[in-house]
Amino acid sequence: MRFNKNQDLTCSKIIDEYSEKALADIIWKFGEEEESRRIAKFIVNRRASKIFQDTIDLAEVIKLAKRKKTKKHPATKTFQALRMAVNSELDSLKICLETLKEKLIKSGRVVIISFHSLEDRIAKHSFKQLPNIIEKKIPILSEEIESRFSVSKIIYPSDKEISMNPRARSAKMRIIEKL
């Protein structure tokens, strides 16, 4: 799950060493998993008797912990949360967007594609407070917006794109332009 193999924090370290509360907080904060406390409890109880061998082993414990059944695999949100925590993904996004704000030239555009509501929230709020930056629709696809805020600033994937690439279903694209 690490993007940087040289970093110290690993998913195994989180699963094997973090407290039940710390695990639940990670699963809730980054995975927005409603059953985060129950999942954390199952993980901690299981590791007390037997160490986790692999991700399949962990996924099975999460599956046992989940009460609610959904279309997605029961471990999806927990694995997402662990990946985001291991890689400090939200912090990295914040740093990247701050850097972009400083480097963006007049009439320059930034296109941000997010796949998670937490990422989208950071992207949306990052540029909002700057007076000379607006969020736009793509001119090629639709008319330019005249005001700072538009009803439809977010571009979602079409049904055709989703059928060709199911992973695109949660994507949101925002375009930011410096005036």
Cα separation, 153 vs 172, whole angstroms = 10
Which residue has tokens 């414990």? 61
Whether residue 64 contacts residue 19, with contact meaning beta carbons closer than 8 Å, is answered with no
Measured CA to CA, the distance from residue 21 to residue 11 in angstroms comes to 16
Domains annotated for the chain, with CATH where assigned, are 11-86 (1.10.150.170), 89-178 (3.40.50.150)
Q: What is the pLDDT of residue 132?
A: 64
Distance CA 144, CA 125 (A): 21
pLDDT along the chain (179 residues), means of 10: 80 95 97 96 96 94 93 92 94 90 81 89 79 57 36 75 90 83
pLDDT value of position 6: 79
> What is the predicted pLDDT for the residue at 118?
92
* Order of strands across the sheet that contains 133-136: 109-114, 172-178, 133-136
109, 175 contact by CB (below 8 A) = yes
Residue 66 contacts residue 39 (beta carbons within 8 Å): yes
- Residue 26 is predicted with a pLDDT of 97
For the whole model, what pTM was predicted?
0.78
